[in-house]
A and B are shown apart, each in its own frame.
Chain A
Amino acid sequence: MKTERIQPSVRMAPLIAAWIGLVTLTLVSLALGEWFRGLPGLLFPVAAIIWLKAWLVAHYFLEMPLTRTFIRRLVWVFIAFSPIALVITDLFGRQLAKWLQV
């Protein structure tokens, strides 16, 4: 069977770029929260930023592209869960609350 070695990175530049991206997105989300306080549309960019920040950590710090399929799927599913659930809760919150009422 043909096998090939996977070589994890030894480069600092992608890590630094990811860190700058994470700090920037944190500040952007705070600014959005301040500028668009109370507006229903705020939810969508905030959900997108949650996903993007988690993706940056997973892709560059956890090196997800090099990992086994199970680990990769576990992380991607977890990262996608909250932004999707957040959008669903805010769009269909009333219906959800009715269904979940005991």
Chain B
Amino acid sequence: MPQAEESSLDPGATETTGRIPGNRGIWVGIACIFVEFAVLFTVYFVARAHFPEAFQTGAERLSRLAGTIITLVMISSSFCVAASVITIRAGKRRLSLYWLIGSLILALGYPLAKYFEIDWNLAHGIDAQAGVFVGAYYYLTLNHLVHASWGILGMLWVLTRHLTGAYSTEDYGGLEALASYWHATDIIWLVIFPFFYVLA
């Protein structure tokens, strides 16, 4: 299949040791973010061990709908950016661009949903002083939102480059670096979601 042969020209392809999706720099960043969130999760577990009742009843207070919308938006945006990488590899530049635009539109749904969620929270008295569970919730979810915002800004940058024809079958490292970052952000959200919206 010619498309598959073209993909072997991928800049990330190396010898039998394996490839680096995107570039080394992005993986240094992702490693730092994983360490950062491992520490934040540890804080969550310590709080959960000390105040099990607060964490068992906490999920009832939050908007499960908002958490579900954010999860579906993150999963779908992550899928679209992965599809963008696959299609540029296959030499379908225009299709890759459309997938990336789709990913960006979906990603923008996250801060929007978060805005309405916080609005709903404040209307229901769920502010930073509403106990240890809510404190941990704001601490983790707002931290994640900051990281997702960086990803959205990165998406805008990569989209601009894609529009100017910077990526091709031979050179799409920047697009794949963004995709790797966005998938890592997605994985972190998939861990956060049940902590606050499912476990009760």
Which A residues lie within 8 Å of B42 (CB)? 85
Known: A67-B21, A71-B18. 19 other contacts (CB 8 A): A5-B13, A7-B4, A8-B7, A9-B86, A18-B79, A23-B75, A26-B68, A30-B64, A30-B198, A33-B199, A38-B200, A42-B199, A50-B191, A74-B27, A75-B187, A78-B38, A81-B38, A96-B46, A96-B49
Kindly supply a per-residue 1/0 record for chain A positions 63-102, scoring 1 wherever the CB is within 8 Å of any chain B CB and 0 otherwise: 1001111011011001101100110111001101100100
Closest 4 CB pairs of A and B: A33-B198, A68-B18, A93-B49, A19-B79
Interface string of A3-33 (1 = CB under 8 A from B): 1111111111001101100110010011011
Candidates B14, B49, B83; contact of A15 at CB < 8 Å = B83
Residues in A lying within 8 Å of B, measured CB to CB:
1, 3-12, 15-16, 18-19, 22-23, 26, 29-30, 32-33, 37-38, 42-43, 46, 49-50, 53-54, 57-58, 60-63, 66-69, 71-72, 74-75, 78-79, 81-82, 85-86, 88-90, 93-94, 96-97, 100
The answer to whether the Cβ of B171 comes within 8 Å of any Cβ in the partner chain is no
Question: In the complex, are the beta carbons of A10 and B4 less than 8 A apart?
Answer: yes
